[in-house]
Structure 1
Amino acid sequence: MVIRSIRDNYDAADKQQRILQAAHAEFAEKGFDGARVDSIAARARANKQLIYYYFTNKDVLFTQVLEAAYRDIREQEAALDLAAFPANEAILKLVEFTWHYYLKNPEFIRLLNSENQLKARHLKTSGSTVEINRSWISITEHLLARGRAEGTVRDGIDVMQLNINISALGFFYLINQSTLSILYQKDLGEQAALDERLRVMKECIAAWIRP
């Protein structure tokens, strides 16, 4: 009986994970409003009733997809070895990490864009989003304090503004890549253009934090 219970729990967790992965792909591709539970069920090779059993409704499912997306970037960010660098260089390592994460996980940007169009309706009901992202704040708080002590980072930089700047410099470029490519008659998705963008982003942040 114990073995069967363990197996049942494993099967349930596996099914929930498959549903979350399928929902992640569906929401990223079509946005919250365009996504359909039937399509998520087909992607997950599960019936729609099972999705409602585990996640109640589409809103709860989307909320858990967002939480998982935030959890992934924050766990990878927290694993960076930033203590090996002076604070100003460590901040630029954060710029590099954020940029490369966005490039490897374009669905993360699309999910956040969809939620912003909904005025953060789902994040407002989430009980864990703030806690999940707490490390994002504490990492930069620590780097700014260390940078001031080292003399490598100037006084007066707000943690929130630093985090927003790092995110926005890459987020805006990538979410508007298609339209900007037309306006400037240049493929902003080419590797050379992406490398140039990272160089400019690092220069902007480095100039801003310099004593």
Structure 2
Amino acid sequence: MAAKPKSELQRDAERTRSELLAVATEVFAESGYSGARVDVIAERTRTTKRMIYYYFGGKEQLYLAVLEKAYRGIRDAEQKLQVNHKNPVEAVRRLAEVTFDHHIAHDEFIRLVSIENIHRGEFIRRLADLPQLSAPATSLLDEILRDGRVTGVFRDDVSALDVHLVISSYCVFQVANKYTFGYLFDVDLADTSQRAHLRHMIGDVVVGWLTNRQ
């Protein structure tokens, strides 16, 4: 049998690495760092622990790769967002809604964040490039807030980080607390019939807050 061309081997390697990351994300989100087992990831991907170590070096390095990929996902979604800077009110609403959509569609991201906080940020601190990766999240908000202040529709005592904190808090809550909140108040936050209402709510909250210039 003829050997595969180098380009095809590279594509195979990229597919394998991508599949390993996808399955590892599920396993770490389900079981946490301490409970996740590399042999379970290997079994689900129909590969071997040796192959996982070949691509990532070990369990810790695999977890770090999973964390970085998860954070890159939300940052990429923000960067792809096309907002109308001539209408800063609509722009900030759109950003809030995109964040809501991403968190709902990637609940494993929220579980990973929760797990990392249980570990007091032990692993995320080893990802030196992550703060720089997160900078565009507030940079886009800075632009929107600046445009809103120039046109006189936004208050001037709220920072981009303030807005990011409010949006993230609301969106994370939808996933992280859906079982406890749902049980206590007999509501299903995952019910798709409620999705549009909850999505619109965060837009209303942020817009109402920013346009209240008293």
* TM value normalised by structure 1: 0.91
Preserved contact between residue 137 and residue 159 of structure 1 (Cα < 8 Å): yes
- Counterpart of 2:161? 160
Question: C-alpha offsets along residues 131-158 of structure 1, whole Å, 9 cap, x if unaligned?
Answer: 2212112111111111111112110111
Alpha-carbon distance between aligned partners in 1 of 2:174 and 2:12, rounded to the nearest angstrom: 41
Count of residue pairs the alignment pairs up: 211
In structure 1, give the amino acid aligned to 2:71: Y
In structure 2, give the amino acid aligned to 1:132: L
Alpha-carbon distance between aligned partners in 2 of 1:169 and 1:85, rounded to the nearest angstrom: 26
Preserved contact between residue 67 and residue 128 of structure 1 (Cα < 8 Å): no
Alpha-carbon distance between aligned partners in 2 of 1:208 and 1:77, rounded to the nearest angstrom: 21
Preserved contact between residue 97 and residue 200 of structure 2 (Cα < 8 Å): no
- Counterpart of 2:73? 72
Gaps spanning 5+ residues in structure 1: where? none
- Counterpart of 2:131? 130
CA displacement at 1:188 relative to structure 2: 2.8
Question: C-alpha offsets along residues 30-64 of structure 1, whole Å, 9 cap, x if unaligned?
Answer: 22222110011112221101111221121111111
Gaps spanning 5+ residues in structure 2: where? none
Alpha-carbon distance between aligned partners in 2 of 1:47 and 1:170, rounded to the nearest angstrom: 37
Quote the RMSD (CA, aligned, Å): 2.0
Percent identical among aligned pairs is 30
- Counterpart of 1:121? 122
In structure 1, give the amino acid aligned to 2:129: S
Alpha-carbon distance between aligned partners in 1 of 2:48 and 2:120, rounded to the nearest angstrom: 30
Alpha-carbon distance between aligned partners in 2 of 1:64 and 1:83, rounded to the nearest angstrom: 34
- Counterpart of 1:91? 92
Preserved contact between residue 86 and residue 152 of structure 1 (Cα < 8 Å): no
